[in-house]
Each structure stands twice: as structure tokens, then as C-alpha cells.
Structure 1
Amino acid sequence: MTDLHAGDLDVAAFSDHGPWLVDLDELEWMDRVDTIRSAIHRQVPDLIAPGRMPAGRRMFDVVRHLGTAVGSWYLTGRRRGGSESTADLSHRLRVAAETLGPTYIKLGQIISSGQGVFPKELVNEFIKCRDQVPSESFETVRRVVESDLGKPLEAVFSEFDETPLAAASIAQVHRAVLADNGQPGGGGEVVVKVQRPRVAEFVHQDLRVMAWIAPFMIGRIPVSSLANPPALVEVFAETIAEELDFRLEAENMLDVARSLRKLGQTAFVIPRPHPQLVTRRVLVMERLSGFNFDDVAGIKGAGIDTHEIVKTSMIGFLEGAMLHGVFHGDLHGGNLFVQTDGRTALFDFGITGRLSDVKRQAFLRMLVSGMTSDIRGQLAAIRDLGALPADTDLDRVIADLGLDQAPLDPTQLSPEQLIHELQRFVKQLLGYGASLPKELMLFVKNMVFVDAAIGTLAPDLDLFAHVTEIATYFATNHAQTLMAELGVNPDEMEVDLTSFKDSLGVDRELETVTYADLQARRELIQSRMRDHSKQKRRRFRFTG
């Protein structure tokens, strides 16, 4: 390996010792990346344009597998009730998704990142879609690699493990060693990401099926319709379409790595993409290793401060989005390692959030407004992100939703009252034309992961102190940006946690709260809702 010390470490957050140098002017695969990205964006509207029913065979397959999963649960697993019933349905849906292929597996991966949003049984089942998906045969992998690289596999790699390290919806990854034949990194250990051979074709078919079905779902799934099904399909299409070309992912890796370096973030490491061996379906990158993100015992056993991991992860994520307009868009436990030196290694950049300057500044305003309890400022920022129409009367929204009032404590509400409040809130938002644009969806999804990460790594972390620390960090380290872009003088910015406390549903007078405290409240609410559901089923059986 080459001792880099300087070189590409001056411009990107890479490992200290890598198998090759990344020279941004010498990357053979970078020439057409901008053109490719633009072409993919132009293709999405055609893929999801409403029209006649899609090809019958694929529609039939989707209805057959999902219908069988739900139908068989209804006849058998539903009778178990409670968590067992949910787990049974979750298992059947996960098996159906894997049978239907990449598009539905990717949906499962998104669900797996929804701790606290989806039932835990559903999340736990779909976690298996991250890296436990049935893999392609080695013969298939060889054909893809040799076709894309234009050489026999043995001419590029001296070793290539036939069994993948992991297999997911779009691709699978293999450990390999580059042949020492004069190519960059020769003799070095790498990871080779190989796309499933017909995945693009299947994804395009499935998007057409989803786009055809989505209008019929409007109003039939109230909570999900906050983004309305056709809009959800559009966001999903924009997200998955970019994952089908690994040259875009390699550029995403570089852009995030460069952003982290510019921000002075030394707590993250991005693997180097190979300067030559990147194609539409093959991505060769430096191999990094470490502890799985949920291996708390291993991390602590290595003397690593888990609280510090959470703090630096949150700050790095927020800085990238709000100062440089780029962030990893698919954070979950399978995409991160904690290295023995305490740094976090990030992987899988197929989904990356990219913000226009207008939206980046809106994110920054949302952060500052949230930390100062400026309700109107937060709503204005959310509007500018595209979640509300441009002509929305913000004062009316605040009044109608009672955002300027102390919130109801959900632990003090009956199940019927809680359901009523949720339905009222969603109905009013829909009445304002609320939606969930791609960038905000990715941001929220990542925040849900961070929430779960705190529960795993630092359940005793004082959340109020943590938020105050983040606010102080931004005011201290980014004073010029706050002044120039938002007209905010950090010296005069007073941290006010009122709106943050309101969002958690806790008493405004509370001085400290940990994740463990919040989790206890959530479990109390979930327990009441489960009991309410059981009582409804008993009444139904009795009256039936």
C-alpha cells in the first residue's frame, strides 16, 4: 500500500493509507457523469407518466405475490393477534418483495430504515433486505464484470471471492485483490460491487406498474397520503433511477468525501473509488473494515466513546446538507462501520441527497429556526423545500394546527383521542397541499436512523444538552455563513428548546430527557394502542 499522508487527503476524507491516489483530473470514468445524470433525470417523467395498464404479466405477478402474502396472513396469521400477527404479515411481505425483485426489495430497505415510523416487526423483518437477499451465481457475476471491464476477470484480479460479502436489491459486493500488473492499486485488497444483470429493465417495468396503481390509492391510505401515492412513486423513481449507474455513485462518494474534508470533519472515512475500474454496472473501491454499527460491545471494548460517535455523526450529516448541499441519503446500519480508531466509515452512496442553493439555504434556516423556536421560520423553510405550496398562508397553518400552543401529551391521551388528533393533523396538512419532496424525505429518513442510533449507542445521552451543543457548534464554527446567508448574528442567537420539546411531546418545563426516557413513553403509547386494537377485535368477534 502507498503511504499517502498528503496527496488526496488534502481534498477528501479518505483513509490514511490507501491502495492508490485519487487524482480528480485523472479519473477515466468521470468524463460523462454530468451528462449521464441529466439524462437519467429526463427519463423519470416518462417512466411514471400515467397511461394505460402496464404489461399484463408483470402486473399479474405483482398482484399474485402481494395478494397471496396478504390473503394467506388474513386466513391464518391474523388470528394470532398483536405482535405475532404483525410479525407473520411482515415475514410474508418480505418474502413476496424478494420474489418480486429489486424494486420491491429497495422499498423494503427504505422500510427497514423507518424505526419509530413503521411497526418494529416490519422493520426487523425488512432489515434482512439490506444484505441477506439471495445472490446471483458467480457465473453471472463473472459475465457482468468481464462485459463491463472488457477483460477476463483474471486479468484484473488475482483473487476474487465467489461468495459475496453481501447481496442487496440492486447489486452484491465481493472481496477481491487487484492483479499486480501495473494498474493502480495492484496487489491491494478491494471490494467489487456488481449490479444484477437485468435490474434496470425490471426497475423500469415496476415503476410503470406503481405509477399506474398509485392514483387508485389516493385517499385509501390516509397517513401515507401525506405525500400522496403518485408523488411517492415520483420520489421513489428519482431515487432508484440514479442507483442504476455506478459512475454516479462513484462521483457521489467523491463529492461527500470532499465536502467532509472542506468542513474539517476528521471523524469520517470514505472508501476511494478506483480511477479506472468504474462502469455502469461495476464499481471497484478500496476495502475498509470495522465494527458493525450495532456492535455496541465491540465498539466499547475497543475503548471508543459511543456518545462521541453519535455527536460527530449528527454534526457531519447536518453540515454536509446545510453548508455544501450534499449528504449520504441512505443511512442505515448496513452502510456504516466504526473503525478501531473511532472514525465512522460510510458506504453505499447510490442514494445521495443533492440540494440546490435555494433548498440548501432553506435547510439551514430550518435548523436555525428550530434551535431558536421560531415556528414561522421553520414553516417558511419547509415551504421553500417544497413541502408546502409557495402561496401557503403560514400564519393560518400555525393557528389551525395549534403550533404556537403547548402540545398535548400523547401519554395522557386515550387511544381514541390519539387517533383523532393524528387524523385531524394529517387531514389539515393535506388540505394545505402538503407533500414530501425527495430531499426532505431523505433527510427525514436519515434523522429516523439517527434517532435509532442514539437508542443503540447512547440511550443515556441528554438530548436537550446534545441539541444545545449542536447549536453552539454551528454558531461558533459557521458564524460568517449564518450572517451572510441568513442575516443571523450568532452572538445574538439564543437557543430556545421550546419547539424541540413540543416535537417530542414533553413538558416545556422539563430540563433533561434521554432517549431511554422517550423510548419508555413510546412503548407506553404503543402498548395502549395494541390493547385498544385487541379490544376492538374482541368486540368485533362478539358482535359478529
Structure 2
Amino acid sequence: MPWRRAVPTARAVVRRELPRLISPRQVPPLRRLAVVVLHLGRALIGWRLVEKRSGDRSRSRAGLSRRMRIAIEELGPTFIKLAQIISSGEGLFPNELVDEFKKCRDRVPPEPYDDVRRVVEEDLGAPLDVLFARFDPEPLAAASIAQVHTARLHTGEEVVVKVQRPTVAHLVHRDIEVMAWLAPFLVGRIPVTALANPPALVEVFAETITEELDFRVEAENMLDVARTFAALDQRGYVIPRPHPTMVTRRVLVMERLEGFAFDDVAGMHAAGLQTEAIIRTGMIGFMEGAMLHGIFHGDLHGGNLFVMRDGRTALLDFGITGRLSEPRRLAFLRLLLTASVNDIKGQLAALRDLGALPPDTDLDAVVVDLGLDRPPLDPTALTPDELISEIQDVVKALLGYGARMPKELMLFVKNMVFLDGAIARLAPDLDLFAEITQIAMYFTTRHGETIAKDIGVDPRSVELDLSGVKASFGVDPSVAESLTYRDLQARRELIRERFRKRGADLK
């Protein structure tokens, strides 16, 4: 695979260029800045004049989200990609923003076939009919960075060909410079989330999207994750094989896999597949790679995976891949272990070592300021005003300590949020507490020795304590013995309904 030799250099170039791209002090491309300011400014002014004045918070958030989505679609591929990443962050961003930005997933027009053909022939160095026995002119899918076409090699093998949009690399670099310049001015002006403030969001976005621009890096990510699954003997996942020679910066030829869409529950059940087992495999395989090898797929969503007829889950699109340095991998391992035994201070220490808190953070003070030494509150027993106040107090305290969301942690949390939604579709009656216990036992029995060697604590010698997990769901640890996902959704809907009622009362 000769293309692999270029990967270390490609990664080094990204690391070297990133500080320059996200520096807010430089003068951005002025013409592009004017276009961006025009579209975003028009969206914000319209929102302030109409929805914000209504006094209805729900209508205000929905109106802002809709106007931002329209502006982003007009601004093109880079901004659409940012919206797509936000759209898979349910729980990290407001529901209205997520729901609106999901519309950006399938609204990217494909490139003309002649442009696609030119890129493939330029990068692979031969006419299309020499390279392929068949190449479908109609794309199978079109995304913001690239589009995918089905094809057949002269050997008879069915493949897919991922082709980068011809001008997207230049557009991305230019737009990141504009975003970085604008981000400080948007702090506190767009109600998204406090911890994912605009400058931090731009930094994480720039770090992820710039690596996506070289498909040799993506192909290497595929090999690395596949190697990890093989080392773990995790056979519940399948990753398509990149072609040994037909990979360049802008073209990626890979094995074609087929199966059920991840939300096609009826189809899976008709084929005799156990959706609960698919969810369990998803949770375990995703966590194993991060905990034991420091690498994981960084952008799980319904378009990036499907279930094959033999029950294995196929993972696609490795442009965004989480990679933990060895110190951060060990910190992440400690975070999950301390969570399983409800060690609050241990969890905070692990978060500090992951980069979510400054190195000199007074952890005892954090425990007190966040109320972690008090019995947990049941959010369903609070009024909307009380719940908002609690959230604001926590966010204010975290920001006061300099809390931030490191890229790897944000990707992991975003993936966990996706799996949360997958449970709702595939296994709504799954007992969450029993499932967590079963997964903990899996790691204890299968990887206990490795974990003990890595962090000096043998999980086989500690007792699982789900009180912290129960508290995170807002249920009484001393009472709740089981909680299905359907139960959890009912609790969430109760909270949402109270907020909707409050918004209607304000109106």
C-alpha cells in the first residue's frame, strides 16, 4: 500500500497549519468575511426582530435555529459540514438546533459528473474505463466534503469510490479563517451551549475537518481501527477494506458493504436479528477501542453505519477519528472505572487529566461548588425555573474553573448520545441498569488483567456501584432497581413538556 508512506507527512502538515488557521488575530479573507457576515447577520437580525421579541423561548430557539440553518446552506460545504457535526450532538446542543441542522444532511447537491471524472482520472493517473469496468455516474450519496459512487473493478469486485469535491480544500481553509476571526464576537450572542462556546467549537471543528481533507489519512484510520478490533477479537464490527493502491488525497476506493439502515428495526427483526445484541456490541466495541487502544470512530450517526444480514455492524466514513494520547487514554480508563464505583473525586481527577479542567484545579472545591457532595436532585420534581437555575449555576461554576470540552471527549460524548438514541429505536425496553452491569462484567472478566496493569487498579477487586449512574438519570439510587429506556424517555418528555408549558405561559 504505497499511499501509506504519505500519511505521517499529511498528519504533520495538518498539525503545523492548524494554529495559523484558527488564530483570531490574523486578517481573514475579506471578501469571504463579508459574505459570511451578510448571511449570519441577516439571520440574527431577523431573529431579534421577530422570534426573540415574542417572549416565547421555545419559539425563539426554533426561529434562530431555522434562520441559522438557512444561512448555513447558503454559505456552502464548510458551514454545512459544521451543521452536520452539530446535528449529531443531541444532548450537547439544543434540540431545536439539532433537529433543524439534521436537514443539512441530505441537502448537499452533487458535483457534475465531468468534474468527478476529472478528479478520479487526475489522481489515479488513468482513464476511467481503464481503472474500472463500471462507474456509476449517479452518486450513491453526496456530502459536504465528498460524494460516493458505486463501481466495479476489472477483477469483478464491487467497490465504492469516494471523491472529494474539487475546490473544497481551498474553501475549507478560507472559511476556517473567517470562523476563527468571527468566533470571539459571537460569545454570549448565540444561545448554543456555554461549554461549546464559538471559539472552542471552531477549534474542534478545524482540527477534525482538516484531517478529513486527505483521504489517505482516512484510509489509514480505517486500517488502525480494524487492527484494534482484530487485536480485541471484536468480530461484531466490519470495516470496508481500502484498495491497496487506489487511494490518493482526493480519491478513496474501498470495498462495498451492504445491509440494513440502522433505524430499519422492522427489516432487522424480519431477518431474525436481535437488535438488543446489536446495541450491546455497539457499546462494547466502541468503548473497548477507546479504553484499551485509545482510538475510536469519531462520528457515529445513522448514515455512517448499517447492520449486515449476519448481524455485524458495518462502520463507514473514518474522516473523523478519535485518537487519545497514552496519558489521556489512561485518564479516560480511570474516568470509566471511577464512574463504575461512584468515586466523584476520582472522576474529576480523570477529567482534569483529559484536559477538561486546568491542571491546578482544586478538586475538593469543585465538588462543593457543583454540589456533588449533596444528594442528587430529581429533575422531574423541579419546576422549569428551578431546573434552569440549577443548570446555570453548574455551567457558571464550570466556566469559572476554566472547564472546556477537549476534542476527544466531545467526540466520545457525541457518540454516546447517538447510541442513546439508537437504544430508543432498537431496544426501547432494554433495562439500562442491568445492561450497564452486564457490560461492566464483560470488561472485568475479559480485560481485568490489562486494566489492572494499565492503571494499577484491578476492576475484579472493586464492587460496582450504580448509585452515581442512577443519579445521572435523576432517579433515587435507593429506590430504583431497574430503568428501561422507555421509562427514561417518559421522564425526559415530562421535563420537555414543562418547558413547553412555561414557554406558552410566557407568551
Please say if residues 56 and 503 of structure 2, whose CA atoms lie closer than 8 Å, have aligned partners that are also in contact: no
Tell me what 1:111 maps to.
86
Residue 246 of structure 2 aligns to a residue whose secondary structure is strand
Query: Which structure 1 segments of 5+ residues have no match?
Result: 1-26, 181-185, 539-544
- Please report how far the alpha carbon of residue 532 of structure 1 lies from its aligned counterpart in structure 2 after TM superposition: 1.4
Q: Does the alignment pair 1:68 with 2:42?
A: yes
Match of 1:325 in 2: 294
Query: Which residue in 2 is equivalent to 1:420?
Result: 389
3-state SS of paired residue (2:335): helix
Letter of the structure 2 residue corresponding to residue 530 of structure 1? R
- Rounded Cα–Cα distance in structure 1 between residues aligned with 2:241 and 2:103: 27
Q: How high is the TM-score relative to the length of structure 2?
A: 0.95
How many equivalent residue pairs? Answer: 505
Which of 72, 77, 100 is equivalent to 2:75?
100
1:466 — aligned with what?
Answer: 435
TM-score (norm 1): 0.89
Q: Relative to 1, partners in 2 of residues 1:422 and 1:113: Cα closer, same or farther, differing over 3 Å?
A: same
Q: Secondary structure at the match of 1:276?
A: strand
Whether the 8 Å contact between 1:246 and 1:283 is mirrored in structure 2 is yes
Aligned to 1:18: none
AA partner of residue 528 (structure 1): R
Shift of the alpha carbon at 1:90?
3.8
**1:316 matched to 2:285:** yes
Work out which of the residue numbers 448, 460, 467 in structure 2 matches 1:498.
Answer: 467
Give the distance between the partners of 1:423 and 1:523, measured in 2 at CA: 21
- Does the Cα contact within 8 Å between 1:176 and 1:192 map onto a contact in 2? yes
Is structure 2 residue 22 aligned with structure 1 residue 48? yes
Give the SS at the match of 1:225. coil
Residue of structure 1 equivalent to 2:13: 39
Counterpart CA distance in 2 for 1:122 and 1:529 is 16
Tell me the CA shift for residue 132 of structure 1: 3.8
Aligned residue for 1:404, secondary structure, equals: coil
> Which letter does structure 1 place at the counterpart of 2:393?
R
Q: Which amino acid aligns with 1:464?
A: F
Q: Deviations over 1:258-295 (max 9, x none)?
A: 10011011110000000011000000000000000011
Between 100-109 and 80-89, report the one with greater CA deviation: 80-89
Report the counterpart of residue 357 of structure 1 in structure 2. 326
Deviates more, 1:483-492 or 1:472-481: 483-492
Q: Which residue of 2 aligns with 1:530?
A: 500
Percent identity, please. Answer: 64
Offset, 1:227? 4.3
Q: Which residue of 1 aligns with 2:354?
A: 385
Counterpart pick for 2:446 among 452, 455, 477:
477
Residue matched to 2:363: 394
Could you list the per-position Cα deviations for residues 206-248 of structure 1 after superposition, in whole angstroms to 9, with x for gaps in the alignment? 1111111122233445763324432222111111110000000
1:329 to partner: Cα distance:
0.2
2:485 is the counterpart of 1:511: no
Whole-Å separation in 2 of the counterparts to 1:68 and 1:228: 21
- 1:404 Cα deviation after fit: 2.5
Residue of 138, 141, 145 corresponding to 1:170:
145
Is residue 223–residue 426 contact of structure 1 (8 Å, CA) maintained in 2? Answer: no
Letter in 2 for 1:498: S
Cα deviation for residue 122 of structure 1 reads 3.4
| Change in CA separation of 1:80 and 1:291 when aligned onto 2, cut-off 3 Å | farther
**Runs of 5+ in structure 2 lacking a partner?**
none
Note the C-alpha offset of 1:72: 4.5
The answer on 1:443 being equivalent to 2:412 is yes
String of CA shifts for 1:45-82, please: whole Å, max 9, x gaps: 01111224422221121122223344455666777968
**By how many angstroms is 1:534 displaced?**
2.4
**3-state secondary structure, aligned to 1:434:** coil
| Residues 1:198 and 1:365: Cα distance change in structure 2 (over 3 Å) | same
SS of aligned partner of 2:105:
helix
The correspondence of residues 69-84 of structure 1 with structure 2, limited to 5 A, is 69-72=43-46
Q: Which amino acid aligns with 2:30?
A: G
Give 1:150's aligned residue: 125
Does residue 292 in structure 1 map to residue 261 in structure 2?
yes
- Aligned match of 1:454: 423
Q: Distance in 2 between matches of 1:299 and 1:84?
A: 38
In structure 2, C-alpha distance between the alignment counterparts of 1:429 and 1:83, rounded to whole Å: 25
Between 52-61 and 364-373, the greater mean CA deviation after superposition: 52-61
Tell whether the 8 Å contact from 1:131 to 1:334 is kept in structure 2 after alignment.
Answer: no
Q: C-alpha offsets along residues 21-62 of structure 1, whole Å, 9 cap, x if unaligned?
A: xxxxxx010112112111111110011112244222211211
8 A contact 1:210–1:233 mirrored in 2 = yes
Partner residue of 2:105 out of 130, 149, 164:
130
Letter of the structure 2 residue corresponding to residue 519 of structure 1: Q
Is the CA contact (8 Å cut-off) linking 1:227 and 1:434 kept in structure 2? no
Q: Read off the aligned partner of 1:274 and give its amino acid letter.
A: H
Which residue identity lines up with residue 347 of structure 2 in the other structure? Q
State the Cα RMSD in Å: 1.9
Which among 151, 171, 175 is matched to residue 206 of structure 1?
175
SS at structure 2 position matched to 1:454: helix
Task: Judge conservation of contact 2:94–2:192 (CA < 8 Å) in 1.
Answer: no
Q: Quote the offset at 1:95 in angstroms.
A: 3.2
Range with bigger deviation, 93-102 or 427-436: 93-102
For the residue of structure 1 that corresponds to 2:194, the secondary structure is: helix
Post-superposition Cα deviations, 1:165-206, rounded to whole Å, max 9, x if no partner, equal 11111101011111x2xxxxx221110000011111111111
Q: 1:131 to 1:254 in 2, by over 3 A?
A: farther
Distance 1:516 1:461 in 2: 8
Task: Choose from 244, 265, 275 the match for 2:244.
Answer: 275
CA distance in 1, matches of 2:344, 2:324: 23
